[in-house]
Chains A and B, each alone.
Chain A
Amino acid sequence: MARLVFGASKGSVPIRNDADADHEGRLEVMVNTEFETLQDLRADVPNAPPRPAPDLSREGAAVWVEGLTRTFEAGKKKGVKRIVTAIAGIDVAIGRGELFGILGPNGAGKTTTMKILTTLLYPTTGEVRVAGFDAVTKPRDVRRRIGLVSGGDNAGYGILTVRESLWMFSQFYGVPNKASRERSEMLLDRLALREKADERVNRLSTGFKQRLNFARGFMSDPEIVFLDEPTLGLDVESARQIRAFLREWMAEKAGQRTVVLTTHYMAEADELCDRIAIIDRGKILATDTPQGLRTIVSADRRVVVELDAGTPIDALSAIAGVRVIRVTPPSEKGTFSIHLGVSEGKAMRAVLDSLMVEGSVVHNLSTHDPSLEDVFVAIVGRGIEEADAAATEGGAA
């Protein structure tokens, strides 16, 4: 069985960076049963005819950014202004009809980029065009064509019902009442909000509030939707419904609707996105399709072997065509895992032979293609969790 995400870098936490794991990564069983392989994930995508390559020109792209930087003043130190760089020079073009992911750890510049693209923030330098209009000089033209959903947000008024909330937000975009009604009814059904339609927002559970928040972003039938960590903190079922809705929504007007998604959930980016940009410290380090990104790492197969704690592994690293990528600390049940990159079948055989010669007890052995996590580590130089932790420490300091 090939597993989408596996291994842990800290203690016995079994899953890292999965969209459906909670913040402590505790939903191993659910994740493993839900996502068997990447191919399985993509099997859900409605069959659509192959699309022509998107227009990535300045005039034709849904989003076109050149030389974008953004700095903030962060107070003064000894009378000198402290400048923090959130975006350190981004060039990117997103075609119409693309589902484009921006993947990066906390503090990488994802949200700042989104705020600039949605006209909420001026860039310090650079040109930003959204839906064919300059986001700085023609913000109104941009706004008419975009929607924004920020995950974890519960914007709106608790005193309104779900249905009224959707209507209210549509009115800020001038949507006629009839169209507003039709859209809200469609969204109530598709996001499983129907049973809560006439309930006050302040009486909804967090999951329903976030679904409502998500639905709100689609009430104006935007050409381009910006989703900033849309499944942040969501339960498995809500996150799944939101992803399924996104795929259907894109397929309904293939080539016309564009989604720009920021996330630091690898599986989510892998599952949904046509292309992914990996961003860290305000710079885009790589942009490609998920498959294309994997080829950046290598053509290695990834092998994970779970062994008794204390089993010698020196012999494994000496085998030609095998490299040890990571060794996890011993778990509570007295085992540890070794992650190997194996370049060819012969090397795989040598690994097995070596383990048998040593008389090792193999508790588990699995293989898989390089994951986005592997890609991220290779490109950024550290795992996304480590990067998040570093950002948190930096923020705390």
Chain B
Amino acid sequence: MTSSRFEPVVTNLRAAWARAYVRIFAASREPSWILSETLLPVIGMCAYVFVYRALGAPRAYEAFVVLGGVMMAYWLGVLWSMGTQFYWEKQDGNLEFYLMAPCSRMAILSGMAIGGVVMTSLRALSALALGLFVFRVPFDLTHGWTALLVFVLTLGSLYALGMCLASLFLMYGREVWHLAHALEEPVYLANGLYFPIRALGPWMAAAIATVPLAVGLDAMRQLLLGGALSKPILPVATELWILVGSLFFYLALAVVMLRWTEARGKRLGTLILRHQ
């Protein structure tokens, strides 16, 4: 082991990379996983595109759907691969090794997040490719770099939220399935994955604007669809700051929640009992 004052940093970086490795490299060994990550998720997106086409909606609506499909992939990744992950690790007997390793739990979660982003990007790219090359959705790339910044910040905030969920799900134990399902569909609706969020009314839209996915998606739509988005939630600059704020907020919250959950688990003995 290295014995410098940077040792904790080095240990955490190594831990994060090792945990990411499982997802990035090892997971690609299962061809069926790649298929289910890329092909299946875009089917739902296709359905919405065909509905809009059948109704004669403007082409921009199809772009809505494609962007929504891309971001939906990340939300599913956050929910199922980040939020529930510590719970599954506990069931598999891995959690106690993470808990008794000298690295930070945030490093493990960061590794999961990095691996998750890479794997989920496969799904997102397949949705994007379908939109660009099959449906020929019109995207305006004038503000491409800003859109990329928004995308990165949105992912950061989302995965930080996933880290918070990891503690929450760990605490919920066996109810984790229900909790994940309960969060899945409402978020599709609330974040306007397939339609402009302003359709829900101004107050609802304002409330939902606190969720990074909705804000990020709205900003990207403003940037990539040119003037096609007539009723954005907030100006892009404001949304950028909201994303920066939520990134730090959720990261800090995740640290606090992890510490609290771990201390509670050690006190009650729930972290070492697998089927609780």
Which A residues lie within 8 Å of B30 (CB)?
Answer: 159
What residue in chain B is nearest A179 (Cβ atoms)?
A: B1
| A390 interface hit (Cβ, 8 Å) | no
Task: Convert B11-54 into 0s and 1s, putting 1 for each residue whose CB lies closer than 8 angstroms to a CB of A.
Answer: 10011011101100011011000000000000000000000000
Establish whether residues B101 and A168, one from each chain, have CB atoms under 8 Å apart when the complex forms. Answer: no
Q: Mark A100-144, 1 if CB is under 8 A from B, else 0.
A: 000000000000000100111110000000000000000010011
Contact call B26/A160, Cβ cutoff below 8 A: yes
Q: How far is the CB of A241 from chain B (nearest CB, A)?
A: 22
The answer on a CB contact under 8 Å between A153 and B21 is: no
User: Within 8 Å CB of A140, what residues of B?
Assistant: 102
CA distance A323 to B123 in the complex (A): 77
Instruction: Give chain A nearest CB distance to B123 CB in angstroms.
Output: 18
Which of the listed residues B10, B29, B269 has the most CB atoms from chain A within 10 Å of its own CB?
B269
Which of these binds chain B: A53-61, A169-177, A264-272, A291-299? A169-177
Given A72-B269, A167-B18: A120 and B103 interface contact (C-beta under 8 Å): no
Chain A residues near B271 (CB, 8 Å)? 120-121
Please report the C-alpha to C-alpha distance between residue A173 and residue B12 in the assembled complex, in whole angstroms.
9
Q: A120-B266, A140-B102, A172-B101 are in contact. Are A159 and B96 (CB under 8 A)?
A: no
Question: For residue A155, which residues in chain B have a CB less than 8 angstroms away from its CB?
Answer: 92-94, 96-97
- Report whether over half of chain B's contact residues are helix, strand or loop; otherwise say mixed: helix
Are the CB atoms of B100 and A174 closer together than 8 Å? no
- The answer on a CB contact under 8 Å between B22 and A172 is no
Report A-chain residues with C-beta under 8 Å of the C-beta of B272.
115, 120-121
Closest partner residue, chain A, to B96 (CB atom): A120
Inter-chain contacts of B10 with A (CB < 8 A): 174
B22 and A143 within 8 A (CB)? no
How distant is the Cα of A216 from the Cα of B100 in the complex, in angstroms?
13
Q: Judging by beta carbons under 8 Å apart, are B93 and A118 in contact? A: no
A134 CB to nearest B CB, Å = 14
B26 & A73 in contact (Cβ 8 Å cutoff): no
Chain B residue nearest to A175 in the complex (CB):
B1
Interface residues of A in 166-221 (CB under 8 A from B): 167-169, 171-176, 200, 216, 220
Is A19 an interface residue, CB under 8 A from the partner?
no
A148 touches B (CB below 8 Å): yes
For B21, give its contact among A150, A168, A200 (CB under 8 Å).
Answer: A168
B55 interface contact, C-beta 8 A = no
What string of 1s and 0s marks CB contacts (under 8 Å) between A64-84 and chain B?
000000001100000000000
**How many Å from the CB of B233 to the closest CB on chain A?**
40
Residues of A within 8 A of B27 (CB): 159
- Across-interface contacts of A118 in B (CB, < 8 A): 100
**Cβ of A156 under 8 Å from chain B:** yes
Closest to B92 in A: A155
Whether B15 contacts A148 by the Cβ 8 Å rule is no
Distance in angstroms from B240 CB to nearest chain A CB is 35
Which chain A residues lie closer than 8 Å to B269 at the CB level? 72, 121
Question: B134 at interface (Cβ–Cβ under 8 A)?
Answer: no
Most buried by B among A150, A159, A164: A159
Those of B231-276 within 8 Å (CB) of chain A: 263, 266-269, 271-272
Verify if B183 is at the interface (C-beta below 8 Å from A). no
**Chain A residues whose C-beta falls within 8 Å of the C-beta of B268 in the assembled complex:** 72-73
Return the CB mask of A144-166 against B: 1 if under 8 Å, else 0.
10101010011111011000100
Q: Which of B19, B29, B93, B100 contacts A120 (CB under 8 A)?
A: B100
Bound complex: CA of A195 vs CA of B101, how far in Å? 28
Closest chain A CB from B84 CB (angstroms): 16
Asked whether B7 is an interface residue with its Cβ less than 8 Å from the other chain, the reply is: yes
CB of A120 within 8 A of CB of B22, answer no
Contact A173–B102 (Cβ < 8 Å): yes
* List of A residues within 8 angstroms of B100 by Cβ: 118-120, 143, 146, 148
A interface footprint on B82-123 (CB within 8 Å = 1, 0 otherwise)? 000000000011101111111100001000000000000000
Measured CB to CB, the closest approach of chain B to A133, in angstroms, equals 12
Q: Per-residue CB proximity of A205-247 to B under 8 Å, as 1/0?
A: 0000000000010001000000000000000000000000000
Let me know if B2 is at the binding interface, CB within 8 A. Answer: yes
A154 & B93 in contact (Cβ 8 Å cutoff): yes
B29 neighbours in A (Cβ, 8 Å): 159, 200
Task: Write the nearest CB–CB distance from A82 to chain B, whole angstroms.
Answer: 14
Whether A171 lies near B17 (C-beta < 8 A) is yes
Contact A174 B22 (CB under 8 A): no
Interchain CA distance A195-B150 in the complex, whole Å: 49
**A272 vs B7: C-alpha distance when bound (angstroms):** 35
Q: A154-B93, A171-B14, A174-B7 are in contact. List 19 more A-B contacts (CB 8 A).
A: A115-B272, A120-B100, A120-B266, A121-B266, A122-B266, A144-B1, A148-B97, A150-B96, A155-B92, A157-B22, A159-B22, A159-B26, A164-B21, A168-B19, A168-B21, A172-B15, A172-B101, A174-B11, A175-B14
- Interfacial residues, chain B to chain A (CB-CB below 8 A): 1-2, 7, 10-11, 14-15, 17-19, 21-22, 26-27, 29-30, 92-94, 96-103, 108, 263, 266-269, 271-272
Interchain residue pairs A-B with the least CB separation, the first 7: A174-B11, A171-B18, A172-B101, A155-B93, A159-B26, A171-B14, A143-B102
19 sampled A-B residue pairs with Cβ under 8 A: A120-B272, A122-B266, A143-B100, A144-B1, A153-B93, A154-B93, A157-B22, A157-B26, A159-B27, A160-B22, A169-B97, A171-B15, A172-B101, A172-B103, A173-B102, A174-B7, A174-B103, A175-B1, A176-B1
